[in-house]
Amino acid sequence: MYIGDYLGRRDIYTPDRLAIIDAGKPGEPKFTYAQLNDRANRLANFLKQEVGVGKGARVGIFARDGIEHLDLFFALSKLAAIHVAFNWRLHPQELGRLVEDTTPKALIYSDDFRLTIANVQASPASASITHYLHIDGPGVADSLLFDAVRDAAPADSVTCETLDAEDIAALLFTGGTTGLPKAAQISHRQIAWNTLNTVIHDVTHNDVYLNVFPMFHTGGLLVYTVPQVIFGGATILTRQFDPAQVLDLIKRYRVTFFAGVPTMYQMLTQAPNWASADLSSLRFCTSGGAPLPAPLVEKYTAEKKIRFKQGFGMTEFGPGIFALAPEDAIRKAGSIGRPNFYVDARIVDDHDRPLGPHQVGELVLKGPSYCSGYWANPDASAAAVDAEGWFHTGDLAYYDEGWYFFIVDRLKDMFISGGENVYPAEIEAVLYKHPAVHMAAVVGLPDPKWGEVGLACVVLKPGAAASAEELVAFMQEHLARYKVPRRVEFLDALPISAAGKILKRELRERYAG
């Protein structure tokens, strides 16, 4: 079988090549492709023989990043089963509802979350789960030790000959503003086309990649990690994002490319070892999730000689959709670049009519790297795609004469003040130009007179000083008056998701009262 058995092929081609370094564990254990394939075969045999996992069955994991995520993903791919990685930030009740929706036969977890798992185990939501596998120790009642059951299982090669490209490899949850997150169905076809787009994105067979995104997120699993396995490169895993550790790992392992979101790049510059960090091995860095502020690009270029690629992706599509070449990082600052080779993109109005250059509308996409809809949610699946097959992203954007695209904001983040559309991303870009501002987030809050008004939440650089009045005056020099937030709040830190994105919903809830 050639579909799904990613490690089986890699074990044939490059069995002794370094595949994974788990830098989140003591001693930073290293695994070749032969060793990684052996682990996946053993786990697949255990799940098949002892748990009854077959084609289409789900197995969940609730754990911080580590080799176990990849053990499970590749084992399930061999079985044509479905990998379900849950966000470890979830409340026990939220996790229980997602478990109830996805009905996994087994659940793997790390020791950090044994109390959460105990709560789920004691609830009706756990009815489908027959086996609990604990990564670090004895864990909760009736759980098995992950390493022990895997290592005791047969090492016989496992494949599913009936696996098809349209079969689902993973469920990845998308962040929702209300209700439960939707689970995007990631097919093996989507993974293959995304990998091809990644090749075009200049990843090679000899790269060393450092992953800091959580493995429950498309950024951690699919942006580069799985493509790296298909290419035969090496990937370094971290338990979670630690700026000082990242800079150290890049130097020690001569990392050739790195990816993060703008907040991560901001945090790296404040790490205690930033000044002494040796980043000379990096061919490029990729930034996604939001426009990378031009002053930050200039700082990395001047101090560390970093070449930036900027991109844009999402769980449901790709995830690699757009790329901006390093030579355009300053000239086209703020752009997400042009569509990747096998992605078509349009900007449309409220009636799905295509718009021309510099006209703001919704970004819609079409191509073979689209997901297979949402798990057990046919209404949401149908609503996401229009009659002509275009996926509606919910992002407001425009493109210029050179077909460079620019995200204006999320539809959900835009607010209307006095009848005028206000785009927080535009205001944040101005705030980042102020020399005292380290991080910024703008949200709209209800207002009896204007409908909504802006609130700017700001974290200052260490040792820097600025008043609210100063920042408001600075914004007034660069923005129309209706766009300038009425209020500025200074925070020690912004709420950040495990994927490194600013949690604007938490800011709205905190200050809306």
- Name the token pair of 467: 């008043």
The amino acid sitting at 373 is G
Dihedral angle computed from the Cα positions of residues 130, 136, 140 and 144, in that order, rounded to the nearest 10 degrees = 40
Rounded CA-CA distance 34/55 in Å is 24
Domain-wise residue ranges, the chain: 27-185, 241-410, 421-511
Rounded CA-CA distance 95/383 in Å is 25
CB 337 within 8 A of CB 325: yes
CB 83 within 8 A of CB 71: no
Q: Judge residue 128's burial from the number of C-beta atoms within 10 Å of its C-beta, 0-12 exposed, 13-18 middle, 19 or more buried.
A: middle
Neighbours of 173 (CB within 10 A): 23
Edge-to-edge strand order for the sheet containing 437-447? 437-447, 451-460, 487-490
Q: Over its length of 513 residues, how does the chain's per-residue pLDDT go in tens digits?
A: 568 999 999 999 999 999 999 999 999 999 999 999 999 999 999 999 999 999 999 999 999 999 999 999 999 999 999 999 999 988 888 899 999 999 999 999 999 999 999 999 999 999 999 999 999 877 888 899 999 999 999 999 999 999 999 999 999 998 643 457 899 999 999 999 999 988 877 888 999 999 999 999 999 999 999 999 999 999 999 999 999 999 999 999 999 999 998 889 989 999 999 999 999 999 999 988 767 777 888 899 999 999 888 888 899 998 999 998 888 877 887 888 999 999 999 999 988 999 999 999 999 999 999 999 999 999 999 999 999 999 999 888 999 999 999 988 777 787 878 767 788 888 998 999 999 999 999 999 988 778 789 999 999 999 999 999 999 999 999 887 889 999 999 999 999 877 777 888 889 889 986
Q: What are the residues whose beta carbons fall under 8 Å from the beta carbon of 306, sequence distance 6 or more?
A: 279, 282, 284, 285, 300
**CATH H superfamily, domain 241-410:** ANL, N-terminal domain (3.40.50.12780)
Neighbours of 125 (CB within 10 A): 20
Fold (topology level) of 27-185: Rossmann fold (3.40.50)
Integer CA distances (angstroms), 91 to 75, 96, 97, 117, 436, in order: 28, 9, 10, 10, 36
User: What's the CATH code, domain 421-511?
Assistant: 3.30.300.30
Rounded CA-CA distance 277/295 in Å is 19
Asked if the domains 27-185 and 421-511 are classified in one and the same CATH topology, the answer is no
Dihedral angle computed from the Cα positions of residues 314, 320, 325 and 328, in that order, rounded to the nearest 10 degrees = -20
